Structure 1
Amino acid sequence: MADPFSEIITLLQPKASYSKLVHASGPFRVHRENVNEAFYCSLLTGRARLEVEGKEPLVLNAGDFVLIPAVKSFTFSSMDPPPPADLVNHPVEGEDGIFRLGASDADPEVQQLVGHCTFASPDADLLISLLPDLIFVRGEGRLAALTGLVRDEARANRPARDVIVENLLQVLLIEAFRSGADPAPTAGLLHGLADVRVGPSLRAMHAAPAHSWTVQALATEAGLSRSAFFTRFEGVMGMPPMSYLQNWRMTLAKHMLRAGDLSIAEISAQTGYGSSSAFSTAFSRYVGCPPARYSKTIATQ
Structure 2
Amino acid sequence: MQSRSKGNAQGIDVSHHQGVIDWPKVAAAGISFVFIKATQNNMDPKFIENVNGAKAAGLLVGAYHYLDDSVTTVDKARTAAQSFNKVIQTAGGPDVFDLPFVLDYESNKNKLTSATITSIAKAFLEEIQHLTCTLPMLYTYPSFIGNFSGLTDYPLWIARYHTVAPVDASGWKRWEFWQYSDGGVGDSLPNGIRKVPGINGNVDLNEFDGTVEQLRSRYCNKQSGKDDVKMTDTTSDINKVSPWAADAWEEATANGYVDGTRPGATVTREEMAIIVNRLRKNFLTLIAGNTDRIAELERQLQQIEKG
TM-score by length of 2: 0.25
Greater relative contact order, per chain length (Cα 8 Å cut-off, separation 6+)? 1
Kindly indicate which of the two structures has a greater share of residues assigned to helix. Answer: 1
Kindly indicate which of the two structures has a greater share of residues assigned to strand. Answer: 1
